[in-house]
A and B are shown apart, each in its own frame.
Chain A
């Protein structure tokens, strides 16, 4: 999870490192800690540390972590030579390690030799059939080859064993959304909200899925989840504010013919609209006219 302060810290460090202000190692540590994907930067600055023997030896045992990080980043940037060299060094240092074996299989994957990678993973799984990372790699491999149904099948099997793995639930939800299987995706997001109720992103994604599904009941639930996102972020999530406006306009259209007894809180939408207007006025005043016309067409502005 990346909080607001950590995000600013990361972007500050990124700027500093990019402009040659030093702090490359701190940047690499932060990237590892926050689990963000900055492969190009990691490759560039990680290599500059690895090339300098003095800097490299000053890291101590962390040196090997850096080799692994740079190897993965290099694969992501398709610099396979660098990745190969890093893995060779690691293999020399830890000849029997499963983690290095996984990296080697990862290199096969990056090469595009799927069958060999599959073989390597199965042989690794034979030694330890409950290795979560390798199960996940097989899912990712199926996905990379475009075999979405295979990926879903693998993930479902995986989640039967490791039910508490929220990253896997999230991946499954994203795959379902990409295939427009929204009912299944909604189930995954429910699971995620249950396991981590304080993460606003899951509430937001769940509300998005429900809004896409449509129907009066789903829209009302979506509105509630947008509201809970606003609650958790202190109203600083623009998408949730827009979601409230869209939901209330859609609910208004759907329940136009019906009796208006169950009309709920008209203040919510006008409050969201005012919050949006205030935010636009502060950050992007030239786009304010666009916003007001959009809100007017939704008939939500007060």
Chain B
């Protein structure tokens, strides 16, 4: 959690720095009156790095992925709940009284 969060912040900072460098580069182009042919190398590298960091943080920080397959261990239903609303006490448990029949001391 801590590590992922720090990496995410770092990624956002890198992206912000890339934006700042782009603005600077455009200002430089205006001054030298050159045509825009493509973003500079360091901006592209920063964008890619920021993308990787942000994606990694986004996938790890919020938590684990849950399975959506119906036959995975988490989703595979192995038994239905006992129908407790329709529970009846008239069963053979009566014949085997519990030795634990002590009063609740209050």
In the complex, whether A163 has a CB less than 8 A from a CB of chain B is: no
Contact with B along A5-16 (1 / 0, CB 8 A): 101000000000
Q: Per DSSP, are chain A's interface residues mostly helix, strand or loop, or mixed?
A: helix
Residue ID in chain A nearest B90 by CB atoms: A144
In the complex, whether A201 has a CB less than 8 A from a CB of chain B is: yes
Contact stretch, chosen from A76-84, A212-220, A272-280, A289-297: A76-84
In the complex, whether B33 has a CB less than 8 A from a CB of chain A is: no
In the complex, whether A35 has a CB less than 8 A from a CB of chain B is: yes
The 8 closest A-B pairs by CB, nearest first: A234-B71, A35-B81, A144-B88, A144-B90, A85-B104, A37-B82, A110-B89, A136-B85
Contact with A along B83-102 (1 / 0, CB 8 A): 11111111001100110111
Contact stretch, chosen from A20-28, A40-48, A252-260: A40-48
What are 27 sample pairs from A and B whose C-beta atoms fall under 8 A apart? A3-B75, A3-B78, A7-B79, A35-B81, A36-B82, A47-B100, A50-B104, A76-B89, A76-B93, A78-B93, A78-B97, A79-B98, A81-B103, A82-B101, A133-B85, A136-B85, A171-B83, A171-B86, A199-B80, A200-B76, A200-B77, A231-B71, A232-B70, A232-B71, A233-B70, A234-B70, A234-B72
In the complex, whether B106 has a CB less than 8 A from a CB of chain A is: yes
A-B pairs with beta carbons under 8 A, tally: 124
Query: A residues within 8 A CB of B94?
Result: 78
- Size band of the interface chain A makes with B: 35 or more
Nearest Cβ on chain A to B64's Cβ, whole angstroms: 13
Query: A residues within 8 A CB of B88?
Result: 109, 140-141, 143-144
Query: A residues within 8 A CB of B72?
Result: 234
Nearest Cβ on chain B to A80's Cβ, whole angstroms: 9
In the complex, whether A91 has a CB less than 8 A from a CB of chain B is: no
For the complex, give the distance between the alpha carbons of A140 and B90 in Å. 10
In the complex, whether B73 has a CB less than 8 A from a CB of chain A is: yes
Query: A residues within 8 A CB of B97?
Result: 78
Query: B residues within 8 A CB of A85?
Result: 103-104, 106
For the complex, give the distance between the alpha carbons of A2 and B72 in Å. 13
- Tell me the residues in window 254-289 of chain A with beta carbons closer than 8 Å to chain B beta carbons: none
Residue ID in chain A nearest B105 by CB atoms: A51
In the complex, whether B74 has a CB less than 8 A from a CB of chain A is: yes
Query: A residues within 8 A CB of B84?
Result: 35, 37, 72
Residue ID in chain B nearest A135 by CB atoms: B85
Query: A residues within 8 A CB of B85?
Result: 132-133, 136-137, 140, 167
For the complex, give the distance between the alpha carbons of A171 and B14 in Å. 61
Nearest Cβ on chain B to A120's Cβ, whole angstroms: 15
Contact of A3 among B73, B87, B101 (CB under 8 A): B73
Contact of A201 among B70, B71, B80, B102 (CB under 8 A): B80
In the complex, whether A170 has a CB less than 8 A from a CB of chain B is: yes
Query: A residues within 8 A CB of B100?
Result: 43-44, 47, 77, 79
For the complex, give the distance between the alpha carbons of A133 and B83 in Å. 12
Query: B residues within 8 A CB of A199?
Result: 77, 80
